[in-house]
Amino acid sequence: MKHRFINNILQSDFFNHITSMGYLPRWCILLIDILLCALAFALSVGLGNNMFTYGINEQLLPIWNQFIILLVVQILTFLLFHTYSGIIRYTTFVDMLKIMLAVGTASVLLMLTNFITYWVADFKPFLNTILIIYVFISFVLLFSLRVGIKTIYENIYHHIHTSPKALIYGTKSAGIAIAKMLKSAGNVPYHPVGFIGEVDRKSNHNIGGLHIFELNEDLFIWMRKHNVNNVIISPKKMQEINPSKDLNIFLKNNIHVLTTPYFKEYDKESDITNVGRISSIQIEDLLERPAIHIDTDNVKQIIEEKTVMITGAAGSIGSELTRQVLRYNPQAVILYEIAESPLHELTLDLRQEFKQAQIIPIIGDIRNYERLEEVFKEFRPDVLYHAAAYKHVPLMEHHPNEAIQTNVLGTKNVADLAVKYKVERFVMISTDKAVNPTNVMGASKRIAEIYVQSLYKHLFKLDTNCTKFITTRFGNVLGSNGSVIPYFKKQIEHGGPVTVTHPEITRFFMTIPEACCLVMEASTLGNGGEIFAFDMGHPVKILDLANNMIRLAGYTPGTEIPIVFSGLRPGEKLYEELLNKKETTMPTAHEKIMIARVREFAFDSISEQVDHLILTSRQNKPFITVQEMKQIVPEYRSKNSIYEQLD
């Protein structure tokens, strides 16, 4: 009956109207405070009279005059200390301090009035004893109002308006702040029921009424028993732990791991809304990627006040490279891109973000030598980042001629013009698939590597101040266009199934910003002719990646979201490599960047072979094109492809 009565009240139209307001108006809080002060003064007068054998001194003002004077003074102090401006259900120690100062200041002013009137006219409007009693009673009433309302919101409101239960991972200030906001705010997405942290076994610790649990198997038994399926972790805590290890235990127990936006103090009204933006952690957070640091002074030396050109500027790598370049105050940045809409959108974003920068978008195809030369002739770039390429393995396996036209001819055009117009540095973005290639895409990028490296060796013999050609290799980048992670996300959003090509397939992963950071650093380390390989960390099993992404989305792999194996795609191999077996590496000044010692080619010979390959690719005879690719790159062995017969 009791719960039914409370439910009826909380579900009434009146209560819904009050809660829909979000908070009481300031004038309403001030009015309630004034009424409570009037009650406190009445109680003080009653208690004061009973404490003394004599009645109220005849010299005192009539009681209603005292009420008016006290309330006027009290209102002024309320206005002075802004006691009415806070949201009651978010009351903090600061709010209580303001109330204490307002009540105490009012009483001190009235006592001061007593002193002045007594010294001037031998007359006291108030008894000092009653004022002292008033301080205590009024503070208790005002304090009780706020604590009472806050308790209602933290307990009854959450009890009736149930939200999914969650534990807070961490017992430091950030975790406590999250718990307090969730407990005090209305219409929150999750209801905190405890903390996960270090536990003193000799005592039963809790914070703010929430129990602290130790992270062990007993915790997961308790969570299953009490239907607690969520753990919230602050961004600050994410920086203190190793997510790939410390959060994986939750995913394996089908616990949904969430995080919050950054905020400074839980009691700021501007940060309260952040609680509503609690969201799942991203798969990127679970991949062990330590922070990468680069020598920004060296990067600044080669970019500041220089004209920088970026091909493929609107792509995943190209757009991030552009943003990083713009931070070093170049004279101008030329965005060379064939895709019209992505280039337009990128240009709008960059001009909003970098208002003072000279950003020059240019529509063009790297296969068009004449169009490229117009750009080189007009803008005379000092530094060039060549990111334009076809990159999708299955598509290029079906279209080898197009792969040659873009990845080989396009690179040759840009490289030749860089030499002709005396570009200082040419940085080519390559791929780990160029090592022991098993597909057309990887082989085409390897041929492009061979061409620019042999071109530099040839030029250096003639002129040591020639264009410095530098190549960078790295694996898959997280979140890039068409990569596996966005693909898996779409499949999960549609309810599955998630398709994995093979249960044992692995890949190296790197985030787009860190890949671009290393490209920038490599461009400063290179003296010309180097192929830089990046330390990609440990390879990631794609099946594990799919399982974790499903769990992060709040589903159970295999049951709620099935995983199916579709088989290796044409040209795909199980394991990627960053270096050829015959190659060795040399360290550089950066621990994440290595120089690959690769087989060198004579430029005259390779130039002739490349030119012939380009002509062949225009004949639309894919088998002949691939056969010539295999002659240039003997280690190219097709896998799961129609071109295996050529091996």
Per the DSSP assignment, residues forming a β-bridge with 177 are none
**What are the residues whose beta carbons fall under 8 Å from the beta carbon of 224, sequence distance 6 or more?**
none
Do residues 186 and 127 share a domain? no
Return the percentage of the chain with pLDDT > 70, whole number.
Answer: 78
Do residues 13 and 121 share a domain? yes
Distance of alpha carbon 281 from alpha carbon 274, whole angstroms: 15
- Determine, yes or no, domain membership for 292: no
Do residues 603 and 474 share a domain? yes
372-378: Cβ within 8 A, 24+ apart: 372/336, 372/413, 372/414, 372/417, 373/417, 373/420, 375/309, 375/334, 375/336, 376/417, 376/418, 376/420, 376/421, 377/421
**Selected residue with higher pLDDT from 514 and 420:** 420
Amino acid at 457: K
- Determine, yes or no, domain membership for 562: no
- Domain finish residue from 236, 256, 281: 281
Do residues 264 and 348 share a domain? no
Q: Tell me the DSSP string of 176-190.
A: HHHHHHHHHSSS-S-
Distance of alpha carbon 255 from alpha carbon 257, whole angstroms: 6
- Domain finish residue from 157, 176, 208: 157
Residues of the chain by 3-state class (helix, strand, coil), percent to 5: 50, 15, 35
Do residues 117 and 266 share a domain? no
Average pLDDT for residues 159-184, to the nearest whole number? 73
380 close to 334: Cβ distance less than 8 angstroms: no
Give the pLDDT confidence score for residue 284 in this predicted structure. 67
Do residues 363 and 241 share a domain? no
Q: Are strands 425-429 and 332-337 parallel, antiparallel or unpaired?
A: unpaired
Average pLDDT for residues 52-75, to the nearest whole number? 62
Radius of gyration (C-alpha) of the chain in whole angstroms: 36
Do residues 313 and 429 share a domain? yes
Location of structure tokens 């129990």? 211
Distance of alpha carbon 594 from alpha carbon 331, whole angstroms: 30
Distance of alpha carbon 159 from alpha carbon 112, whole angstroms: 49
Give the pLDDT confidence score for residue 202 in this predicted structure. 45
- Determine, yes or no, domain membership for 37: yes
- Determine, yes or no, domain membership for 497: no
Give the pLDDT confidence score for residue 474 in this predicted structure. 80
Give the pLDDT confidence score for residue 57 in this predicted structure. 46
**What are the residues whose beta carbons fall under 8 Å from the beta carbon of 205, sequence distance 6 or more?**
199, 211, 212
Would you say residue 322 has pLDDT above 60?
yes
Q: In which domain, by residue range, is 27 found? A: 2-157
Do residues 35 and 126 share a domain? yes
The domain that holds 246 is classified in CATH as 3.40.50.720
- Determine, yes or no, domain membership for 9: yes
- Determine, yes or no, domain membership for 498: no
- Domain finish residue from 157, 184, 207: 157
Whether pTM exceeds 0.75:
no
Do residues 436 and 329 share a domain? yes
List the helix and strand counts (H, then E) for the chain.
Answer: 27, 22
Do residues 145 and 182 share a domain? no
Whole-angstrom CA distances from 32 to 29, 35, 84, 152, 551 are 5, 5, 10, 17, 49
**Selected residue with higher pLDDT from 464 and 369:** 369
- Determine, yes or no, domain membership for 548: no
**What are the residues whose beta carbons fall under 8 Å from the beta carbon of 128, sequence distance 6 or more?**
111, 114
How far is Cα of residue 550 from the mean position of the Cα atoms in its chain? 19
485 close to 282: Cβ distance less than 8 angstroms: no
pLDDT tens digits, residue range 218-234?
Answer: 888 888 888 888 888 87
Do residues 343 and 467 share a domain? yes
Return the percentage of the chain with pLDDT > 90, whole number.
Answer: 29
**Number of folded domains in the chain?**
3
Give the pLDDT confidence score for residue 299 in this predicted structure. 87
- What's the pLDDT band for 2 if we cut at 50, 70, 90? very low
Do residues 70 and 190 share a domain? no
Distance of alpha carbon 76 from alpha carbon 193, whole angstroms: 42
- Determine, yes or no, domain membership for 288: no
- What's the pLDDT band for 212 if we cut at 50, 70, 90? confident
259 close to 278: Cβ distance less than 8 angstroms: yes
542-552 helix and 484-493 helix, angle to the nearest 10 degrees: 40
Average pLDDT for residues 524-532, to the nearest whole number? 85
